Amino acid sequence: MQLFSGKADGFRFGETHYQWRRPRSHGLLKQLFEMYFKEELVMSYTWEDFERDYAREHLHLLSPKEVVEQFSPKDVLEQFSPKDVLEQFSPKEMLEQLSPEVIEKYLAKLKKP
Count of domains observed in the chain:
2
Choose the final residue of a domain: 42, 61, 80.
Answer: 61
Question: Same domain, yes or no, for 85 and 44?
Answer: no
Q: What is the mean pLDDT of residues 90-110?
A: 95
Alpha helices by DSSP H, listed for 7-111, are 8-17, 23-39, 47-58, 64-68, 73-77, 82-86, 91-95, 100-111
Quote the pLDDT of residue 69: 95
Tens-digit pLDDT profile for residues 43-92: 567 888 888 999 999 999 999 999 999 999 999 999 999 999 999 999 99
CB atoms within 10 A of CB 33: 19
Question: Same domain, yes or no, for 83 and 38?
Answer: no
Quote the pLDDT of residue 80: 96
Question: Same domain, yes or no, for 74 and 22?
Answer: no
pLDDT > 80? residue 9: no
CB 11 within 8 A of CB 5: yes
Task: Compare 70 and 35 and report the one with higher pLDDT.
Answer: 70
Tens-digit pLDDT profile for residues 13-30: 666 666 666 666 667 777
Quote the pLDDT of residue 37: 67
Quote the pLDDT of residue 11: 59
For residue 91, the enclosing domain spans: 64-113
pLDDT > 60? residue 5: no
